[in-house]
Amino acid sequence: MHHNIQLPFLATPEKGDAIIRRYMDFAKFVSLLDEQALFFVRADKLGDSFEGSHSKANIEIRPQVYRDMLKNLGSNSQDVLKDMSAFFKFLPKITAVSCWHLSEYESDAMWKLYLESSEGIAIQSTYYRLKSSIRDKSLPIHIYKVKYIDYEQDFMPGEFNVGPFFHKRKGFEHEHELRAVIQNWAYERGGEKVLAKPIADEGIYVKVDLDLLIDRIYVAPKCPEWFFKLVKSVVRKYKLNKDVLRSSLDDKPRY
């Protein structure tokens, strides 16, 4: 099984019941129910050109880190470093990501970031629920907190693994992101990983146990009454026995 690889340089939430939310528009919500699967977006389609890239410190230190390997290759060391760079550029095409907001509280900023209107929902789950809900236990899925670093100064560990996909620039710190990441390596008989074909289209669906994944469902702040009723109705039609609640940001002030 490849899915138990521990990455000591990354952190998981301290508690299994740490609350996470995924904010989405209505179409994506229906797709989740219909496919009974979480959609993992191909990393190069996430809209951040830095996805999977390395810090300046990594690039500068690379010749030393791989010195012995390069020594054996003699005069071709520059070519090897170039090839390495091309390899890292290719990785986002075989990597897919599911992004969650790690916070005890609903986030007004996240509602605004992920929705174009007030017709959206947030699934509330926990770190443990997400981890346990994935049906295919043979999938190499890594779930860790995103680390926010200075790409000019900080060294990023785990170049050859999924490491870069758990690092983002400091400007994204407000996202408090927890990520589930899959890499589509092809494994040979001996368990060696070899480069795989890029993930098709925009990403891949990963089958989940929705009952386990979803704790409760929130509708967006200020959403119209008809939309609230529609979400409740759709949840019933898909036989999902979960509470559909109004956003806590709609609570009335007291004076």
User: Mind listing the pLDDT tens digit for each residue in 70-86?
Assistant: 777 666 777 777 888 88
CA-CA distance, 151 to 63, in Å (whole number)?
Answer: 18
Of the spans 66-70, 96-100, 173-177, 192-196, which averages the highest pLDDT? 96-100
> Quick check: is 6 in a domain?
no
- Report residue 1's pLDDT band, with 50, 70 and 90 as the boundaries: very low
> Quick check: is 2 in a domain?
no
The predicted pLDDT at position 73 comes to: 67
CB 106 within 8 A of CB 248: yes
> Quick check: is 7 in a domain?
no
The predicted pLDDT at position 74 comes to: 65
- Report residue 2's pLDDT band, with 50, 70 and 90 as the boundaries: very low
pLDDT exceeds 80 at position 68: no
The predicted pLDDT at position 21 comes to: 96
Mean pLDDT of 86-109: 91
CA-CA distance, 60 to 50, in Å (whole number)?
Answer: 17
Mean pLDDT of 108-116: 81
The predicted pLDDT at position 43 comes to: 95
> Quick check: is 32 in a domain?
yes
- Report residue 133's pLDDT band, with 50, 70 and 90 as the boundaries: very high
Question: Domains in the chain: how many in total?
Answer: 1
The predicted pLDDT at position 252 comes to: 79
The four Cα atoms 204, 210, 216, 221 give a dihedral, to 10 degrees, of 30
Provide Rg for the chain, Cα atoms.
Answer: 20
> Quick check: is 3 in a domain?
no
The predicted pLDDT at position 206 comes to: 95
Domain, as residue range, for 186: 19-250
- pTM higher than the cut 0.85: yes
Mean pLDDT of 99-124: 87
- φ/ψ of 210, rounded to 5, equals -60, -35
> Quick check: is 14 in a domain?
no
> Quick check: is 58 in a domain?
yes
Residue 158's contacts (CB-CB under 8 Å, 6 or more residues apart) are 7, 9, 10, 164, 166
Of 206, 179, 202, nearest to 38 (Cα)? 206
The predicted pLDDT at position 3 comes to: 45
CB 3 within 8 A of CB 139: yes
Task: From residue 3, give the alpha-carbon distance in Å to each of 143, 162, 236.
Answer: 10, 12, 34
> Quick check: is 236 in a domain?
yes
The predicted pLDDT at position 139 comes to: 78
The predicted pLDDT at position 215 comes to: 97
| Interval 145-194: pLDDT, tens | 999 999 999 988 877 779 999 999 999 998 999 999 999 887 777 777 77
The terminus-to-terminus CA distance of the chain in angstroms comes to: 57
* Structure tokens, 129: 């629920």
